[in-house]
Structure 1
Amino acid sequence: MDGIPAGRESYSFVCLDCGYGWERSYEIQHTRDLAGKLRVEYYAHGVREPSPITGGKCPECEGRHIRILRPGRVAAAVLAASHGRDGHR
């Protein structure tokens, strides 16, 4: 849009209220408002969502104390736990 390339970003999240973990990928769209100021919009599955950096809530408990991690962290933890490698001895 407007010569500004769109992109895709992925994140892992952990809720600090209930411990639930999930991952989500976003389509990023850059637009300009009426004043010409750059806006970044995040879409997941075609639905506009708040920025994962500044907003959001846990899909399990709706808590707002969220920790953002690099992509793949939740999937790696689930895989390790399913193979008995959760780091506990």
Structure 2
Amino acid sequence: MPAQPRSVPETFAFACGDCGHGWEATFQVMFFTDPLDPAGLTTQEYVDEAGRAVRSPLAEAVCPKCGGRKVRVLEAGLAERARKAEHERGEHPPHHRHRPHLPHRAPERPD
């Protein structure tokens, strides 16, 4: 009879490089050891919050808002702290105003 797999909850924070959306998700990381493997190697599987087995969220994350694949994995809690900081200071700091940057003209030389 195979041994029951060990399970460890792990929370990851994500940020989408396409749309800027941030979110967190908790996965159950299941560790399996093959009793017939003489080396005793352990494999792991991720199970999402809905109970579905998924590939590693560290390698295959997709933004739930825009479907983008430019997703970075952050320290858990970091996405929420960044969202809160943006909300507290507003979209742009009050001292910052956007102004057009025009190229400088070279002074004309007299002949």
Q: Does 1:69 align with 2:70?
A: no
1:78: how far off?
A: 2.1
Bigger Cα Rg:
2
1:31 to partner: Cα distance: 1.9
Aligned residues: 89
Distance 1:39-1:61 versus aligned 2 partners, 3 A rule: same
Structure 1 unpaired stretches of 5+: none
**Is this contact kept in 2: 1:77–1:86, CA < 8 A?**
no
What's the CA shift for 1:2? 2.6
Secondary structure of 2:81's partner? helix
Deviation at 1:83, TM superposition (A): 2.9
Distance 1:63 1:23, change over 3 A: same
Q: 1:43 aligns with which of 40, 47, 55?
A: 47
TM-score (norm 2): 0.65
What does 1:10-21 align with in structure 2 at a 5 Å threshold? Answer: 10-21=11-22
Query: How does the TM-score come out when normalised to structure 1?
Result: 0.78
Structure 2 contact 6–32 (Cα < 8 Å) conserved:
no
Counterpart for residue 25 of structure 1: 26
* CA-based RMSD: 2.6
* Structure showing greater relative contact order (alpha-carbon pairs closer than 8 Å, 6 or more residues apart): 1
